Amino acid sequence: MSDDARAAMLARIRRAIADGAPRHGAHGVSAHDDAPALVRGVPLDAATCIARLVHRVEEYRAHVEVTTHDALPAAIAARVAMRGARTLVIPADLPVAWRPAGVALREDHALDVATLDAVDGVITGCRLAIAETGTIVLDGGAAQGRRAISLLPDWHCCVVFASQVVGDVPDAVRALAAAGSLSRPQTWISGPSATSDIELDRVEGVHGPRTLEVLVVRDARRQGAASSVIAAATGRPPASAA
């Protein structure tokens, strides 16, 4: 029956569009291989890119802090202390330098949901961040873990390297493609969980983490690979190149 339904629907579609509207693509080929260039905003220089990311994330009422590679461990420790967190879940591949002392760290090796629900927070990296929209994108790659660990804990601390910051959404799409991320599970995060369902007014904090902290690492040490991927994908230098 399912095959019949499929054939019937496809036949109805073909009849419906038979009036000769132009058809563009072909099987298996990106629609934009020969498409005109995408509509773009004004490109941002590196410093503006970081500043805009910080401003935009702050506007979602997330905490943002710009730090350096050397100061990052202390910055993480300070945020954890301020939060008063005692147990944190971390991706198994979280860099050692990002792991704060003095709290119980649970590396995620398929922890059950009850455990994830009980911890005080989570520390992750990200694939990239989008300045224009104040968005961090997680794809389950290095230092990010699976989706559930950045979802159930109520506090999420995310480390972003300047070299991972792209200007806008089209840049992000090209960078994800270049990094081979398109088929990975992605979560685009713009501020803490929120709702506008009551009188269309945004309030923070429903089911996802109610507190989001973003630490932006200004210098690009050890992120050379990511930065060259982004530059190649977007045709623009990564934000830290200046």
Partner 1 sequence: MTGIGTRPGRPLPRFEALAPARLDDAQLRRNLGKATATIRGKRQTVVDELPHWEALREEGRAAKAAVLAELDVRLEQLEARVRAAGGQVHWAPTAADATRIVGDIAARHAAREVIKVKSITTDEIRLNEALAARGIVATETDLAELIIQLAGEPSSHILVPAIHKNRSEIRELFVARLGQGDLTDEPRALAGAARRHLRAKFLSVPMAVSGANFAVAETGAVCVVESEGNGRMCLTLPRVLVTVMGIEKVVASWDDLGTMLQLLPRSSTGERMNPYTSIWTGVTPGDGPEEFHLVLLDNGRTQVLADSVGRQALQCIRCSACLNVCPVYERTGGHAYASVYPGPIGAILTPQLLGVEQADSLPYASTLCGACYDVCPVKINIPEVLVHLRGRAVERQAAGAGTHPYPRLERLAMRLAAWAFGSTTRYTLATRVARVALRLLGGGGAVTRLPGYGARWTAVRDLPPPPAQSFRDWWDART
- Distance from C-alpha of 41 to C-alpha of 228, rounded to nearest angstrom: 22
For the chain, report the end-to-end CA distance as a whole number of angstroms: 61
Taking CB under 8 A as the binding criterion, the range among 82-90, 96-104, 129-137, 215-223 that sits at the site for partner 1 is 129-137
Give the separation between CA 135 and CA 129, rounded to whole angstroms: 6
Scanning residues 48 to 77, which ones bind partner 1 (CB under 8 A)? 56, 60
Report whether 122 contacts 157 (CB < 8 A). Answer: yes
Rounded least distance, CB 134 to partner 1, Å: 6
How many residues make contact with partner 1 (CB under 8 A)? 82
**Which of 173/239 has CB closer to partner 1?**
173
Using DSSP, state whether 90 is helix, strand or coil.
Answer: strand
Among 74, 203, 232, 242, indicate the residue that binds partner 1 (CB under 8 A): 203
Q: What is the DSSP letter of 158?
A: E
Instruction: Kindly identify the residues of this chain, within the stretch 179-198, that bind partner 1 according to CB under 8 A.
Output: 182-198
The answer to whether residue 177 forms part of the interface with partner 1 (CB under 8 A) is yes
Minimum Å gap between C-beta 92 and partner 1 is 11
According to CB under 8 A, which one of 44, 132, 234, 240 is a site residue for partner 1?
132
| Region of 67-75, 162-170, 220-228, 233-241 interacting with partner 1 (CB under 8 A) | 162-170
Q: Is the dihedral of CA 17, 23, 27, 29 positive or negative?
A: negative
Q: Which member of 64, 101, 172, 235 binds partner 1 (CB under 8 A)? A: 172
* Shortest separation between residue 205's beta carbon and partner 1, angstroms: 6
Selected from 63, 99, 106, 147, the binder of partner 1 by CB under 8 A is 147
Annotate 122-135 with DSSP letters as a single string: EEE--SEEETTTTE
Give the nearest distance from C-beta 103 to partner 1 in angstroms: 23
**34 touches partner 1 (CB under 8 A):** no
Write out the binding residues for partner 1, residues 92-111 only, by CB under 8 A.
110
Min. distance of Cβ 11 from partner 1 in angstroms?
A: 9
Q: Give CB contacts under 8 A, 24+ apart, made by 43-46.
A: 43/167, 43/236, 44/131, 44/132, 44/167, 44/239, 45/242, 46/162, 46/237, 46/238, 46/239, 46/240, 46/241, 46/242
- Judged by DSSP in three states, 150 sits in helix
